[in-house]
Every structure is written in structure tokens, then in C-alpha cells.
Structure 1
Amino acid sequence: MEIHVNRRLDVCTSVYLAGMGLVLVIERHDVDRGTTTLHARNGALLGEFTLPAPLDSALVDAARVYHGVTPIVPIDPSQPTWRDAPVVTFRAMPATPATTNA
């Protein structure tokens, strides 16, 4: 399991494949956009959504669908703006020999 914590305006906005992932929004403040997009391997848009409320989350099989997020934009440029969204990725562990207790 890997955890990536993001609190910034310049989120990764490209669409890409990765491992199984959970995106959990902790808080949004003064944010417009930050729309998650899901795409088929042929590029067709499968869906898009925002995670507007604290603890909103999305579980994405990111090894099977392309996904990305649009840049966030301040609603009021005079206010601090952030989108706290840790991303947790899960990857299969390498096989290990079974141990026995004799």
C-alpha cells in the first residue's frame, strides 16, 4: 500500500493508468472544479464526478481504466484554496514461500 498526500493547486491533470486506487477527499476550501474523469482504454469518457464533501471517496480499478482530475480553480482568488485528497494505491505483494512450524 502506498499513500500519497496532495494539497496543492497543480494536481496531476493527465489521464493515466496505475494500480488499484482509493481517492479520499478530506477537505475542499474555496475550490471550483477538481473533477475526476474515467476513460476506457480507447479514450472514450466513461464518467466524471467531483468529490465535494469531506470524506467523499472513489475506489477506482486504476489498472483497468484511465483516470485523471481537472485542475482546481479558486472560487474567490483572495481566499486560500486547497483540495486535500490523499490517494491510496494497492498493489499485489510478490509471492513468498509458505512457512511451516514443525
Structure 2
Amino acid sequence: MTTPFVPPAVAAAALAPTLIRQGYAVLDAAAVRDWLGLGADALAALNPAWDDLPLDEYLKDGGRYRRRRHGCFIVEGDRIAPVPPRAHYQPLEYNALHGGMRRWFAPLTDALLAQPAWPRLLQRTAAAASALRGAQPWYVEAHPFRIDTTGGIGRPTPEGAHRDGVDLVAVFLVGRHCIKGGESRVFEADGPNGQRFTLTEPWSALLLDDTRVIHETTPIQPVAPGEPGWRDTLVLTCRAGGFLGD
């Protein structure tokens, strides 16, 4: 088993400068709490939502290892406008495996949306996008994911290293249970350089300038045969001008 590389975490105050300088930034759990202005209990109160995710029926590799929901919002400053349920769409140029089709996923639950931490996550992620591109309305898509090992292996990014076709991607590690693998890899979109590390701390985060870097996460496996395992994440994407597919 490969020894996990430690994430190159920065302080909350260094998030924007780091994103601007290198195209990505990692926050450990303490820095995420500082950045959001939330306590650990407020974030932990979100966790039960990951036990209520329907199966992703669109996986072209035939896998049954991914569960998810989907929701959309328009965020401008502190104002959040929920968007009626809509399909998730990515062109083939961004997702060679699942692009080019409109995928309808179950909506976010009322229980998740009612948590006080939820609007703060949207507001602060949109603020990070504004630090990169200037203040404006942000078209935000929210994806709670659970990747599990019930089939022996789970693939967080079956499409491989990719861009999402947005301005900013924020990947929050909600939790890991009885798994190995799940290494995050970030590469320059137009160069040879890259970084690899493993997020292991609940509610740590990786933020990416999607125009400058590509990213992927390696497959996960159970730590012991017959022992169920999973990796839970929340992915928030911010795009200027509209949602992909409009």
C-alpha cells in the first residue's frame, strides 16, 4: 500500500492568493472552519445527508459504486436563489465518458438545505470564485457523492483527469470509512507539473481554478475483504454567465 502524501494545506487567509498563484489550494479542517466561520458541530450536522443518496444510474462502465444528488443555485454576494431541478450537463470536451447527455439526479433533501451550514458553504465558495474572476452572480451546482466499495472497487472520477467546464471547483471531503486509495491529483492544464496527496481529514477541502488545472481522484478499495467502505464528498462548482447546457 502506498503511503499517502500529506496535503499541502494553507491557512484560510492564504486561500485566495494561493488559488491565484498556482491554480489550486488545500485547506485542512481547521482552515475550512476558519474560512466558513463555522464550528465543527455545524459541519458534522450535514453528514447524515450522505446516508440518503440514490444510486447513480448513468455510469457507462456498468458500475454500481456511486451515489449522488444534485442541486443548483444562483449566488450573488450573500443572496442565494435556489433553481428548480434541472439536468446536469457537461460537453464531451470536459467529460469524455459521461458528457453530451443530460443527467437527471435526485434533488437535494430538505433536511440538508435546512442546515445552517449549507448557505454558508455556498456563499463562501462563490466568494472564492469572485476573488478569482471578480464579483458577479455565480451559477453553482452542488453534488453530494458517496463512492463505495461494495463491488470491490470504487472510482471517484471514472472519466479520468478532467476539467469540469466551470470557473471554480471546490471538493470537500466529508469523510472516509475503511478504505485505501482516493488520492487527489492536480495537474497544470497546459504544463507538465502536478501534485498528489490524500485528503483524510473530515471537512478538509481542495479548491481548483478549473481554467488552469485538471484533476482526478484515484480508485478506492476496502481495507479488508468483505469490509464495506466509502468516501463521501461534496463538490460545489461555480460558473459565470449561466449553467453548462443553457
TM-score range, shorter chain: 0.7 to 0.9
Q: Of 7, 16, 26, which aligns to 2:162?
A: 16
Q: Superposed, which structure 2 residues align to 1:50-89 within 5 Å?
A: 50-89=198-237
Q: Is the 8 A contact 1:11 1:69 kept in 2?
A: yes
CA contact (8 A) 1:23 1:88 kept: yes
Partner residue in 1 for 2:99 = none
Higher relative contact order at CA 8 Å, sep ≥6: structure 1 or structure 2? 1
How does the TM-score come out when normalised to structure 2?
0.36
After superposition, residues 25-40 of structure 1 pair within 5 angstroms as: 25-40=173-188
TM-score (norm 1): 0.83
- Runs of 4+ with deviation above 3 angstroms: none
Bigger strand fraction: 1
- Tell me which residue corresponds to 1:100: none
% identical aligned pairs: 32
Report the Cα offset of residue 49 of structure 1: 1.0
Q: Which runs of 5+ in 1 are unaligned?
A: 95-102
The structure whose residues are more often helix, as a share, is 2
For 1:62 and 1:75, how far apart are their aligned partners in 2?
32
Query: Which consecutive unaligned segments of at least 5 residues does structure 2 have?
Result: 1-139, 148-153
RMSD: 1.5
Amino acid at match of 2:223: I
C-alpha distance in 1 between matches for 2:174 and 2:141: 17
